[in-house]
């Protein structure tokens, strides 16, 4: 069974600074996807970034980028130029595709990020 | 508005009862996913349907069941409710891997 670990329950960062959230996972699969989701105080779940395991290049979405280390099973999220609106709970998620369009997900426990003015 | 509609937004019910949560996916999305977010268990994937058929099952209790109808809306049925079932239940939909859109959730309180 897959497991996802986020070792930082809470973090804080000053506005405009850079912060890195860590995520490690355990799997014997070779084909999988990794995601970072953001859940602001509104509780809405928002997809931040996605990484396919077969891609060596790290995914980037504007101020958000990942450091994907497949051998180490590590998938950290870097937020550059942090903004007050980045304050949220961040979840790392592992997805294993299964036949016939199936997708099975496992989530980490989350990291609560506070961006300080 | 994300395009995924969940009803009701809030639900309060007693232990032992049965409830139905409804999800209308974004137009064109064939896959629907259900998740449970509780304080002590975090976010858990329950089940996925694709074009009317179950495709993946996560940590879904036997007391829970779901289905996806021909118009692609989905319902999550929770029965014999216990206090520990109190949680936020999310539905998400997608047409492709990684393009997930979440609804705003149904908050279930079991008293």
Task: Note whether B28 contacts A: Cβ–Cβ < 8 A.
Answer: no
Three-state secondary-structure class, residue A74: strand
Cα dist from A65 to A112, B99, B109, whole Å? 18, 17, 37
CB contact under 8 A, A107 and B42: yes
Task: Note whether A61 contacts B: Cβ–Cβ < 8 A.
Answer: no
Q: Is the pLDDT of residue B45 over 90?
A: yes
Split at pLDDT 50, 70, 90, the class of B98 is confident
Average pLDDT over residues A4-19: 97
Q: Which of A97, A100, A110 minimises the CB distance to B42?
A: A110
Mutate to test the interface with B, among A41, A101, A107, A108 (most CBs of B within 10 A): A101
Cα dist from A29 to A2, A13, B1, B67, B89, whole Å? 9, 34, 36, 29, 28
Which chain B residue has its CA at the smallest distance from A96's CA?
A: B56
- Judging contacts by C-beta atoms under 8 Å, the chain B residues touching residue A102 are 48, 50, 55-56
Q: Is the pLDDT of residue A89 over 80?
A: yes
Query: What confidence tens digit (pLDDT) does each residue in B99-111 have?
Result: 789 999 999 999 9
Task: Note whether A84 contacts B: Cβ–Cβ < 8 A.
Answer: no
Locate the DSSP E strands across B8-52. 10-13, 19-24, 31-38, 42-50
Q: What pLDDT score does B94 carry?
A: 92
Split at pLDDT 50, 70, 90, the class of A101 is confident
Mean residue pLDDT across chain A: 94
Paired sense of beta strands A88-98 and A33-39, if any: antiparallel
Which chain B residue has its CA at the smallest distance from A38's CA?
A: B102
Task: Note whether A47 contacts B: Cβ–Cβ < 8 A.
Answer: yes
> Are the C-beta atoms of residues A24 and A74 closer than 8 Å to each other?
yes
Query: What confidence tens digit (pLDDT) does each residue in B79-97 have?
Result: 999 999 999 999 999 987 7
Q: Is the pLDDT of residue B40 over 80?
A: no
> Are the C-beta atoms of residues A6 and A23 closer than 8 Å to each other?
yes
């Amino acid at each position: 069974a897959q497991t996802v670990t986020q070792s930082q329950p809470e973090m804080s960062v000053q506005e405009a600074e850079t912060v890195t959230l860590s995520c490690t996972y355990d799997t014997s699969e070779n084909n999988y996807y990794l995601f970072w989701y953001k859940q602001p105080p509104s509780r809405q779940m928002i997809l931040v970034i996605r990484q396919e395991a077969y891609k060596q290049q790290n995914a980037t979405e504007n101020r958000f980028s990942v450091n994907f280390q497949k051998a180490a099973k590590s998938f950290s999220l870097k937020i550059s130029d942090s903004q007050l609106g980045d304050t949220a709970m961040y979840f790392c998620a592992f997805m294993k595709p299964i036949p016939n369009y199936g997708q099975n997900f496992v989530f980490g426990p989350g990291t609560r990020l506070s961006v300080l003015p | 508005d994300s395009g995924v509609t969940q009803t009701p937004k809030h639900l309060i019910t007693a232990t032992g009862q049965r409830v139905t949560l409804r999800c209308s996916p974004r137009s064109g999305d064939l896959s629907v996913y259900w998740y449970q977010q509780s304080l002590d268990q975090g976010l858990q994937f329950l089940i996925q349907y694709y074009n009317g058929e179950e495709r993946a099952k996560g940590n879904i209790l036997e007391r829970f069941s779901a289905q996806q109808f021909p118009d692609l809306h989905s319902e999550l049925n929770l029965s014999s409710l216990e206090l520990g079932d109190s949680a936020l239940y999310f539905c998400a939909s997608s047409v492709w891997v990684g393009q997930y859109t979440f609804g705003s959730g149904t908050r279930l309180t079991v008293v």
